[in-house]
Chains A and B, each alone.
Chain A
Amino acid sequence: MSFRPLSPPESPTANNSNNHNQSMSRSSESDLSVDTDIIIGHLDPNFGSETRIENPKTPSSHQRNASSYSRNYSLLDFYGLESPSGDRESEPLIDASIMKGLDDLEFKELSHANTIFAKSVVPSPETEASVRENYIQPTVSENIEKILNSPYDRYGFRKSSTLHNITHDHYNEWFSDYSQYALRRKKKWHILMKNNGLHLEQEDSIPTRFPPKSDKVKKLIRQGIPAEWRGSAWFFYAGGHERLNKHIGVYSQIVRDTRDIHNKDTEVIERDLHRTFPDNIYFNSQITSPVNSSSTTLATDTSAAPPETPMIKSLRRVLTAFAHYQPQIGYCQSLNFLAGLLLLFMEEERAFWMLVILTERIIPKVHSANLEGVHTDQGVLMLCIKEYIPQLWAILGKNFEGEALSEDKILTRLPPVTLVTSSWFMSLFVGILPIETTLRVWDILWYESSKTIFRFSLTICKMCLENPDFQASRNNNKGGAEMDQIELFQFLQNFPKTILDPNLLVDNCFKKIGGYGFGSLSQDEINKCREFVSKQRAKLDHKKNNNIAAEMTDEERRTLISSSDGTFADDQSIHDVYGFHRSIMSGVIWNKSISNKMKRSFVKRKTSR
């Protein structure tokens, strides 16, 4: 394999379509011309010294090496199954070069908002050519010491957050323990890598290839990926490489196409950019007086627009490009949180494709214009709660007027509490759980897919229910069903913010002994349940549209129903959809138990009519 030294960037507006016919080794240049104007980050003076680059670039080029993107890797290659070693070697290029920047960033700069961005000042956005800084410091003892002394955590979030009611001291108390845990985990990861023949050049190198999926890997993933490896590991296990290599240059093209676009989506995006992570130094350069933890006002002046950080610019491009690429979604609030968190861990082209993977594969239709996926997933979650946490269902399976929701209403009129839980699904716990806890969930999510969201949602619900404070407030509550609901609503909203220790959540979720054992809720069951709920909803919609509400005569209704019976659920098809074949937890065979219960209640109602 050969990588030519990179030539100076062409004009970012140059049409690179001609270049696509070039040979693979040359295509790096064509992509480069595109990437230079979309990657904004810190200039890295040591860039050329990156050890993994076989043909070191000259330091003056300051380019992100886009060549690994332009190489047409196969899926197999990325999962490390069969590939010529030469290709394997080449793949780390991108990450290694990006990651290198972190060594140069003194952590103490984090406490000076104004200086941290000084490096990234570029003369003109049109000609800027820079390497994306890595925002995450390596998990090593020296850094941990620095983090303990900084007002910011290792991701740039303020430790004492008014959003999470966590104080600086409280954070440090937790982190001094947790960081030791993180150090031990990292050692385990090093051993795992070594056992899989994936050698790291240095202690601090960021791997770009990870071991194939296995129980051993899953276990380590659940225990947490080293923070600085996260972007790379998420991307790898989510199938990011495959996606990226099927769409070489696409992101850059979209960014160019959408540069001056103004529409309904961009309007909302603009409003959300600064409302994404206002407590993060990379997103808000105006965080002031961080030491004074009692201060609630963090930014100083409203009237003047805060200077834009490189991160905000990246976020704008990713969200705008995404809205353009997925018009059936466009921009949906909460995508800003997802893109924002991804951008802390990977450069924007990768973040873009991860967003695509997420919305296509992991939480489909959740952000679509009618939020159909939210309704579906909330229906599934409610069914799960009903089955697995019946004590909780006894509270929330009612409307605000205190009437118990009949089974058929679960899917048509979701319990009010789904207003809280739907944001868990839309934001994937970003801003809902404390940051490290969120990241641990994300580690697992990218590896184990969407069942993870359900498992953790159930875990949080159960922890909430068992929380002594909640129990106490329930006992004191004389307000009846509505107040019960309100109480639960509020508790579910605030409680997750207090789960500072990720291990508590993860252990509760997965441990069979001493935990809730939600790890046995399988993807297959979730898939079936999703299919079931969405079919039911479609059927109800269909009927709603066909009937003008209740203004039909009985005869009309009967005709309609008999006509639709053929197309929709007969006994068998429902059982197929709902036919979870396995008992999941504590011997409950919930497919039968639910479907039988349902059928009984329908029969009863029919005869009573």
Chain B
Amino acid sequence: MDSWSYIIWIPLLPLITFVAIGLFESRLTEKISGLAGCVSMGISTFLSYCAAWQYFFISGKSEEVYRKIITLDFTWLKLSPSLSVEWGILLDPVSVMMLVVITTVSLMVFIYSTGYMHGERGFARYFSFLSLFSFSMISLVLATGIVQMYIFWELVGVSSFLLIGYYYDKPSAVSACKKAFIVTRFADLFFLIGILIISWYGSSLDIQTLIARLTDAGSPEFQAIKNETFLGFSVLSVALLMVFIGGAGKSAMFPLHIWLPDAMEGPTPVSALIHAATMVVAGVYLVARLFPVYAISAPDVLTVIAYIAALTSLFAAVIACTQFDIKRVLAYSTISQIGYMLMSLGVAGWGGDREFGFMASQFHLFTHAMFKALLFLCAGVVIHTIHSNYMQDMGGLWKKMPITNIAFLTGCLAIAGIPPFAGFFSKEDVLTAAFEHDKFIYTMALITAGLTAFYMFRLYFRIFHYGTTAHHHDAKEHFSIMLIPLGILSVLSLVTGFIPFSEFVTPSGKPFYYHMHFNLVAYAVIVSVAGIVIATLFFYRRSALPVALAGKMRVIYLAVYNKFYIDEIYLFVTKKIIFNCISRPAGWFDRHIIDGIFVNGTANATGRVSEEIKGLQSGNIRHYLWFFAASSVIIILLFLFIYQP
């Protein structure tokens, strides 16, 4: 069994579903479109499990190292004899792992959506967009060429835009989808510049070739890019930093994180799939894909990444403690956890023990996808039942929604890092990697871990305990198809931690063995438990403590509650500075010079001249004939006089 030909069907099936549902949208009933989406995604999931099995256990290894397998490769554009745009499918531990994550979460979300979106206008449209997203995300992780990657990178952005703006008659959703698109697009500009610089100096568009050339200190490409400097830095560092900014835009790193909390305007399953589990980790994937270049040729950029990520992670965790919209809390927690992944990549290096951080980040990506999707889907059930996003309308739901309660608690324990849930293992690895590299980053990460446990349990208690609220007497958990994915994901959140990730996913493909440091484990668990205990004191029952505390630290509380006024700063910069100094003059120039003089001026001149000479258009054929004959004679005479041999 060494055939990989079925891999192509993993992205193709969602694409076919997208086209089919999209074309016949108005004629499809809910049942058919939902079923088509689920079945095709189910087959894709099954195929990707087959691929993972085949890759990791049967034919992926040669000489104890996981090699990179290119199963499909064709030239799309041949730009010059040595440079061409290739399309293909690349299998390596990272892409196969991502494949499993994406298809699993997609399938869960597809099944869940048939219940959640039941009766919504545009049900079929929703499923076609969701399929488009799955297709582009799968193709993104399988890409061999950097151009292919960029195309699908933009496609996931587009499908995210379409799905955030799904309720297009709601102004807040419309502005949220525009914000998400503009912010990520702005970051993608840097990504594009970065890959252009890299491929210009590396003179290739194939990722593997680029990595080989840019990590070999003897190659002429490496010499060229290393010796060129820009603002005192080597061009390679600048380019890699720009690529990271692109990734930071998609992965919502500070200060480009502002779109993610607003993206929660989309339907909740969309938030679970796109804005928690898959698309937002594209930035992590991107850095992981180019990791050898970062680690070998520009470790300084990795340090920058680690600091930005650690700061973002702490910053988002602090904000998450004060928010009242349950989806926003989860959004900030997503930002914080992605910060963990990137931080862990940032503290990693090349060779030996230093590769540990890379493994930890991929591990955390994997487990986070499972438990964060679970949390979002639970929140979706709650919102579906209560018809509100706000904690104030909830409380005491544990009796009414027992299954959701257990599932949510599982998710909270997993994200808080309590053994033996999945988050415990991956977070432990992340913290260990940080500890071995940089104590300052480790401290920030440890505080974040405590805060994470605190705000997640605040969320849990405010939804399911915290006394009882009167105004949802009719709220009741019905057994529906939405609960099935919750069950599956809960089990996954429990067991995925036991996967020996270090044997599978490492940058060089060599299996890796390590031991846990027991005192580090103890610190992290103690901090998390402390967070949970404080949350229990504050929020298990109604208590005056949190309000009193917030009152005491009023200034800080307000700053945090308003998300450190980052949105306001953005508004100030865009509305006051960019609009007034650039957009308005540009608009004036466009209206008066381009439109006024060139477009309308030409039209007016033509119009006036025509008005003057329209009398010649008498409608009488013989007049025209005379004009024609006379002009022919004049032209012939002119030729005779001018072109004398």
Q: Do A and B bind each other?
A: no
